[in-house]
Amino acid sequence: MDDWFTVETIDAQTFAISEYRHWEETHCYLLCGRERAALIDTGLGVSNIRRIVDGLTELPVTAVTTHAHWDHIGGHRYFDTIAVHEAEKDWLSVRFPIPLQVVKRNLTKLPCDFPADFDLDAYRVFQGMPQKILRDGDWLELGGRGLRVIHTPGHSPGHCCFYEPGRNYLFSGDLIYQGCLYAFYPTTDPQLFYRSVKRVRGYEIAKILPGHHQLHIPLSLLDEIEAGFAQIERSGQLRQGNGLFEFGDFQIQI
């Protein structure tokens, strides 16, 4: 197995594939049904995540995108079937909104022991045509299990969480995690971010599976993040340009 990735078993048919050697500590999730599998996000793209996936399942795999930021679509090139929300289709197929040199600065801003075969000069943000367009409320059937698409804009226009009934898993992407929640980029919207946090609280959730950092997070973090946004809103500061707000286990930058 590629030692760039760490594989952790969530349950017998669900695996977290993580990049702990990079400062972003990205998590991707492989969900196996009876007929096919979904890989939620594909990480940084500095090593071949397909080799890891093929070691875990022989099912046909769809790469399902929480959002089309560079650190979540890096391995999309290894998959024939890609799904993305309609609001970010052009980010994949036409033009990524962040310049490549900015992406590379983010990629290398902290020391990192990259894989020996990684070539920073050759690194590119994935561009390609998605085979499936996601919309709010869509159902992704895997055979015996499936995912509901929840459009949760704010961090990006087409950001989606994925909810699995039965297991009551919420795959939260960059909406919920322990760390700094970003809503200060030109393509972000802190008010929509807050609205999306409130929306997912309406689901019965047994486990939150985040896009970054600590894999096992308490359900109470969702309430705490909602309370943090509410506090910022009450202060009249829930708009871009007001800086970094500290809440202990997480921060909100707007």
**What pLDDT is stored for residue 156 in this prediction?**
97
Helix/strand/coil (H/E/C) assignment for every residue in 68-94: CCHHHHCCHHHCCEEEEEHHHHHHHHC
Q: What are 23's two structure tokens?
A: 């400062």
What average pLDDT does the chain have?
A: 96
Fold category of 6-174+208-217 in CATH: Metallo-beta-lactamase; Chain A (3.60.15)
**What pLDDT is stored for residue 1 in this prediction?**
45
Rounded distance between C-alpha atoms, residue 109 and residue 123, angstroms:
15
Rounded distance between C-alpha atoms, residue 212 and residue 166, angstroms:
24
Low-confidence spans in the chain with pLDDT less than 70: 1-2
For residues 221 and 249, the answer to whether their CB atoms sit within 8 Å is: yes
**What pLDDT is stored for residue 97 in this prediction?**
85
**What pLDDT is stored for residue 2 in this prediction?**
66
- Give me the residue label for tokens 């950092």: 213
pTM for the full model? 0.97
How is the chain split into domains, by residue range? Answer: 6-174+208-217
**What pLDDT is stored for residue 179 in this prediction?**
97
Quick check: helix, strand or coil at residue 223? Answer: helix
Which residues make Cβ contacts (< 8 Å) with residue 216, sequence separation at least 6?
none
- Give me the residue label for tokens 């349950």: 11
Rounded distance between C-alpha atoms, residue 225 and residue 175, angstroms:
9
Instruction: Give CA torsion, residues 222, 227, 232, 238, to 10 deg.
Output: 50
Q: Hey, which residues does 18 pair with through a beta bridge?
A: 6, 27
